Amino acid sequence: MTSPATETPVPVVLVDDHHMFRTGVRASLDGRVRVVGEAADVDEAVAVVHEHRPPVVLLDVHLPGGDGGGGAEVVRRCADLLAGTRFLALSVSDAAEDVVAVIRSGARGYVTKNISASDLSAAVVRVAGGDAVFSPRLAGFVLDAFGTAAGDVAVADDELDRLSKREQQVMRLIARGYTYREVASDLFISVKTVETHVSAVLRKLQLSNRNELTRWAAARRLL
């Protein structure tokens, strides 16, 4: 397996109105992530993101400037870039209205500022790869706000029966947005064991990734 030190770092634009916080985040991110630009308000953020067109933007939701829409406004004004640039909200707020507003605008995830530096770097890499990432328990706000697609159906017992009790426990936590490390801590198992269970869950349910797993679990009211 390739070590983080030898992987190509993910270019990131960091948007927050507090200089000291940006400095701290930039210093804390590991070799998987490289900050290529910074901004402190809505208008500056829109300009810097369009200039650099990074794979990921780390975005505070409460920002001065613009029309007063904060981070959600930044995402909306960068809608022309969403095919190649993904926004990951990074905020002290865990209020449902903040989470839902920025996700409705097009952000791919939302983590709170108490996240560890290692987990933040991992979240950036996951978002760059196409995953949606949420701090634990925040995913429920999004699921409640957006509901499920009409084609999704209520829980089928035979689907759950394919999973062992432990696989069901892992499935629920992963679907809620927990990281592998958090699942391992909650269930008192190793990260490697979590990875094994997740692979088994996806195979048994014929799903491709954790995004599809979250959608599957939400449709069946398993969260």
pLDDT of 154 above 80 = no
Tell me the pLDDT of the chain averaged across its residues.
85
pLDDT digits (tens, 9 = 90+) for 120-129: 999 999 999 8
Find out whether 179 and 149 touch, Cβ atoms under 8 Å: no
Model pLDDT, residue 133: 87
Residue 199 pLDDT exceeds 90? yes
Among residues 175, 127, 180, 186, the alpha carbon closest in space to that of 148 is found at 175
pLDDT for the residue numbered 213 = 85
- Cβ(133)–Cβ(123) under 8 Å? yes
Residue located via tokens 């397996």: 1
Structure confidence by residue, pLDDT tens digits, 109-121: 899 888 889 999 9
- What is the pTM (predicted TM-score) of this model? 0.65
pLDDT band at residue 221 under the 50/70/90 scheme: low
Task: Say if CB 174 and CB 198 are below 8 A apart.
Answer: yes
Whether pLDDT at 108 is above 60: yes
Q: What is the DSSP letter of 196?
A: H
